[in-house]
Amino acid sequence: MRTMPWRLRTGPHLLVLDAGAAGVVTAAYLALAGQGGSDGLPRFAGPAWLGWLAALCVGAPLAVRRLWPLPAFAAVLGGTAAATLLDITRDPYLSPALALYAVALLEPTRRAAWALALSLLVSAGAVLAGEAALTPSGPWPEAAGTAGFVWLAGGAAWAAGRIVRERRLLAARRERRLAEEALAGERLRIARELHDIVSHSLSVIVVKAAVANHVAGERPGETRDALRAIEATGREALSEMRRALGMLRGGTAGGHTGSAGSAETAPPPGVADLPALVRRAAEAGIRATLRTRLSGPLPAGTALAVHRIVQEALTNVIKHAGDGARCEVVVAADDRGGVRIEVVDDGAGNAALPGRAELGGGHGLVGMRERVMMYGGTLGAGPRPGGGFAVSARLPAASASAPPATTEPAATEPASAGPASAGPAQDVAPGPEESAA
């Protein structure tokens, strides 16, 4: 298929309107060329074909002024100047004004400026030569007044075209900026989800692999337990990864959205999945317990935020606290109807396990802070006075409906010095490593 030599720069309905205007102008100039001189003013006295040619040059190019602005403008300006010198009409150059509007709207600034200068020069020269020199119909001041009126019409049309062009450019830049911001936000969301999914699981896998490598020759039974934990953690990570990718694809690839109950259609993780996170931390050598006290089920978005915050906090404990460290996770409703999350460790573990130093820092705290800010909550994270580390977050009751519209950063609360008391504890049994410790 061949490419068109020009690009359609307007809607078909505007082309139809331009064609109608071209027909009206051409018919009007044909009528003026055929009139006799009955009012004492100079009238066209040349051959009929010359009048028809001038009328066609003045009106017909208006039909394509949006497709070829500069050629149409040049034809209309030349035809109108000829009609003025031939005494067909000495009206204030409305056809060149229409063509000049299209030039100012569609052409770059330099070309549009040259077109305006040419229009002012040619129109003033034709009006002054026709009315005051070739076939005078009045004194020079009257001809100058007509030329000034012609300039006013052409300048107003040119200015209107430039204003509309600038507004369209501003609107296009605004839309492009909004699209870039939406793309950046989507990339950030994808990066945060992938980090939350991969970082926790890989931290557990690396720690268990280091344990297996450390005791492989002396305690084969413990090595097999570590390998089983690696396998289970890897399977869970793959399942979460498939679910995240399925959500990103949105079921558009071939219309496949996954079978019922598959990883791609499973509900996002929430509060009910916290015991599995704590058990996984216990398998990595952390003496972890979980205490929950909520007045009712949380909205899906809030529950996912709670799950991800606890997941990342436990990942940091696994990375930095060391084997045998004690960690307490508290998820509870506060007096104002919000949700309070606290993850506190004592930092008393053995961090000298081979491979532990390879677990470098990342974007965990940044991701937690972004999630909390999205719901208008507060986050505090830092070392405890007595040793260890504390993460304290609060999601307000307003997050139960939707994230707030404001984008102001939320205030940061100081890190809690220890876990606040909660209701009946839901303790998760420690893994084999805790017993060994």
Pair 163, 284 in one domain: no
CATH of the domain at 321: 3.30.565.10
Which of the residue ranges 41-45, 296-300, 301-305, 319-323 would you say has the lowest mean pLDDT? 41-45
Domain that holds residue 168: 12-178
pLDDT value at residue 325 = 86
On whether both 172 and 275 belong to a single domain, the answer is: no
- Taking residues 194-205, report their average pLDDT: 70
Confidence band of 392 (pLDDT split at 50, 70, 90): very high
Q: Out of 44-48, 195-199, 392-396, give the one with best mean pLDDT.
A: 392-396
Same domain flag for 292 and 427: yes
- Check whether residue 172 and residue 289 sit in a common domain: no
The DSSP symbol for 411 reads: P
Report residue 389: phi and psi, to 5°: -140, 150
The count of domains in the chain is 2
Q: Is residue 207 in a domain?
A: no
**Do 326 and 434 belong together in one domain?**
yes
Given pLDDT bands bounded at 50, 70 and 90, which one contains residue 343? Answer: very high
- Domain assignment present for 150: yes
Higher pLDDT: 248 or 226? It is 226
- In the Cβ-directed half-sphere of 2, how many Cα atoms lie within 13 Å? 3
pTM of the model: 0.48
Query: Does residue 23 sit in the same domain as residue 171?
Result: yes
Q: What is the pLDDT of residue 327?
A: 92
317, pLDDT greater than 80: yes
Same domain, 414 and 293: yes
Is 1 part of any domain?
no
Residue of 315 and 69 predicted with greater confidence: 69
With a CB cutoff of 8 Å and minimum separation 6, the contacts of 351 are: 320, 321, 322, 323
Residues 140, 23: one domain?
yes
Domain-ending residue, one of 160, 178, 196? 178
* Structural domain includes residue 400: yes
**pLDDT given at position 267:** 65
Q: Identify whether residues 172 and 293 lie together within a single domain.
A: no
Look over the chain and give the mean of its residue pLDDT values, rounded to a whole number.
Answer: 74
Does residue 134 lie within any of the structural domains?
yes
pLDDT over threshold 80, residue 100:
yes
Distance set, CA 130 to CA 124, 145, 375, 377 (Å): 10, 13, 74, 78
pLDDT at 273: 87
Domain boundary among 178, 199, 234: 178
Range scoring the smallest mean pLDDT among 101-110, 268-277, 330-339, 421-430: 421-430
Q: Read off the tokens for 60.
A: 């017909």
Mean pLDDT value across residues 230-259: 61
Question: Do residue 327 and residue 432 come from a single domain?
Answer: yes
pLDDT (0 to 100) of residue 150: 85
The mean pLDDT of 305-324, rounded to a whole number, is 84
Q: Which of 7-11, 132-136, 385-389 has the lowest mean pLDDT?
A: 7-11
* Residue 427 predicted with pLDDT over 50: no
169 and 274 share one domain: no
Percent of the chain with pLDDT over 90: 14
Average pLDDT over residues 248-266: 47
Which long-range contacts link 125-133 to residues 24+ away (Cβ below 8 Å)? 125/81, 126/80, 126/81, 126/84, 126/85, 127/84, 127/90, 129/85, 130/84, 130/85, 130/87, 130/90, 131/90
Residue 254 has pLDDT above 60, yes or no: no
Asked if residue 223 belongs to a domain, the reply is no
**Would residue 236 count as lying in a domain?**
no
Q: Is the residue at 184 inside a domain?
A: no
Contact 362, 199 (CB under 8 A): yes
Regarding whether 413 and 297 lie in a shared domain, the answer is yes
Residue 114, pLDDT above cutoff 90: yes
Give the residue from 128, 151, 178 where a domain finishes: 178
